Structure 1
Amino acid sequence: MKTAYLYVRVSTDEQKRKGYSLPEQEDRLLKYCEYNNIAVKGIYREDYSAKNFNRPEWKKLIATVRSKPKEEKNILFIKWDRFSRNTEYAYEMIGMLRKYKTTAMAIDQPIDFSVPESTVMLAVYLSVPESENSRRAMNTANGIRRAKQMGRYPSRAPMGFINLTTVDGKKIIAPKQPEAGIIRWVFHQLAKNVHRVEDVRKMADGRGLKCSQSHFFRLIRNPVYCGLIPIKLNSQEQHMVKGIHDPLISEALFYEVQRIITTRRKVTAKKDDLKAMFFLKGTLVCPLCKRNICGSFSQGKTKRYPYYHCYGRCKTRINAPFLNDRYQRKLQQMVLSGNAVDLFNRILEDWNTNTQKAEYLQERNMVVRRLNEQESILSQGRKLFVAAILKLDDYTELKSECRAKSKCLKRELSNINVKLRNIDKQGQLGNGPFVDIFQGFPGLDTADRKHLASLIPPLKVDFQTGDISLDLNGALSKILLTKRKAKKQ
């Protein structure tokens, strides 16, 4: 009696287009073996693409074949497209099977390898599936190109965006928090040209943007973030189309960052360290000779010490970290006045946060209702499947579609919840009698510290004790108070 191993394979798209299913193929092969008096030694079921032979079940089948090199064996399948959809790999695999005395055969497309002319039919059987794959890939590429020309982003959403489906079934991308906010912050930091790109990546990682170095460099070069979608004309040229999605940054900011990251940096790491340490430089004046105070490191016996100092003969100087700390403490004693808090609350009311919150709540209720509908559909399908009314293939397809829609809806729900939390945080601004707006000063980067020091410079500095006072102009003096004065109010 002859023996054979049965191999059945489907891919998701083929199940939908041609109605292939694993049970149907298996049933036909078993009937064929029974009619031809062939003993079945094993059945291998696969749910994988046939573009190559890197398939789990096929690897198991080959391992079984190799374990019996002297025994003549047969592998049966329905058609040659179940075996392979790549002519080159198919011929290579057929040659390898011959070494192990194994014959591959399609019951619907039989080939007699003892007849030389039959190889012509084999070439036809193998080339037709490959041409189908090539045509399908071409149609897919054309569809993606047409979608991009219409301003849609049909591929997987880049970091900071999520894929959504509109009510009319169109695929779109929308900002996803908190990643979108961090990426916006990244572009603004790069535009300042203060830190190296790798330093900005590490700071973004600390804020929660988990991204490898190579991925980060691709991210900051992606024009999708400024609302543009690239379309390749050839291997070297491409043109941009205005996308229908909401951009995270402006086009001007994006191209400014591209100019900076493609230009050789003039700011070295050493200069970055100097700027970070001496951010008060340019705002300090020597109390004796009235010259501008500079900053540098003094070499000690074991290490270097940073000092703010005067280049004149008066030799005025003070430890830089000590003065920086005194400035920070003085700054953190300032809070918003009650009138300023009231003004900001009115601005928030004018922004109509209550109306926007109501809209988000309505959207969330709609998404929750659609999620419940998907769960109900899946539950009904499960009952029909248990009652043998719904076939396995139909139930599997239904379950896959419900899960895909539910996953998309859950992402949309998460995005809405983030927006609602942001509105609640904004509404909590005036809950206290005053607001500490400088408590986050230690987390500011060097450029922001220097900018803040230029807005609120130190007015009187005692280079002996480190006592310091701040110079508040007319406008700032009306909205900033010390905590002691704010409590009295």
Structure 2
Amino acid sequence: MQAVYMAIPQVENMRRSMNTASGMRKALKEGRFMGKAPLGYRNSRDVNNRPVIEVVPEKASLVREAFELFATGMYDKEELRRKLKPKGLTLTKTCFAQMLRQPAYCGKIVVKAKDNEPELTVTAIHEPIIDETLYNKVQEQLKRRVKRKAKPKKLVAELPLRGNLICPDCGGNLTGSASKGSGGVYQYYHCQSPCRVRFRADVAHLHFEQWLRSLNIPSEIVALYLAILEDEFNALEKDRFKEIQVLKLQRDEKDKLLTEAALKLLKGEISYEILSRVDTSLRQEINALSMRIHDLEVQESGFKHYMRYGMTLLSDLSGYYTSAELDVKQKLVSSIFGGKLVYQNGNYRTNGQSEVMSLIANSKALLGGKKRGSSSEKAEEVGKVALPGIEPGSKV
């Protein structure tokens, strides 16, 4: 009997544990997020006192920004985490990585496999912060970055174009190496295939800087583009302000409806069940409106700073390139030109086309015509000029 009495509490604890696990699994299958709410949400209770999570607009906008930026492929996890930290997204490396893999943000709940039941993915009852398409893009980027863990090549200061040059004969990537001669050590770019293309790096660099100088955008074209873009930006700012005002009016209307519903309940005109359904629906709409308002209000308007910097850079490409650090030089070359560079007989050309090169081509074609009419007329011409090839017209 003593053994039985000692065993009863243990059996009771096991029964409670099994019931709790079963209840949590049932809740997960219903689409309820169990446990501590992820960043961007807070734990709450519905009208039936059952656990739910609700969106926190100010944090949700940061989560959405993190997903959108990472989906572009321009940032790794640590770089993006540090970029968003000053804005309020304070997470450790591990937590940030877990956030990017959390399916709850796109309105999905994963129910893990147990016993004979397979793993399930169900639609959550809470409001998603991002859509499923964006979530899938982020997962693809995470998979790609796992595959990219190969050791990067060591950068050589004397070979800044390595990685951006291809062979003019076979189209393969050119590498670089040093060769010792009678006058000292010289750096060469060369092909690794049997075509044996090889040329002095210092000569190629001299021609490259001369080519960059020939691509500079004239100051009058820079001023024209800035004026056009500034007008467009100011128009967008007005539209943004109007949209915020409209959204705030809509939110106020929803708040008013909530108050009216509560008064009708007090007067006995509606039942508590009807109020609960109305309350849940209206609060979801209010949260969505608040999130959109917050996103519009916190949008940075650094247009003038970035555009003037970018246009200044394009008006003195060779100067920026010459004074830049090695890693910046390589990023500058890869971002400006639409593909790899081909160097042959003292000339450079690209095997692709980029928006920057199109801008330069349009600018030079526009400047080559007659200078007449207003700036708005010239603006129309910018879009009408036929794009010439990216190869330079004359030998450098």
TM-score normalised according to structure 1 size: 0.41
Greater relative CO (CA pairs within 8 A, separation 6+): 2
TM-score normalised according to structure 2 size: 0.49
Q: Which has the larger radius of gyration?
A: 1
- The structure richer in helix per residue is 2
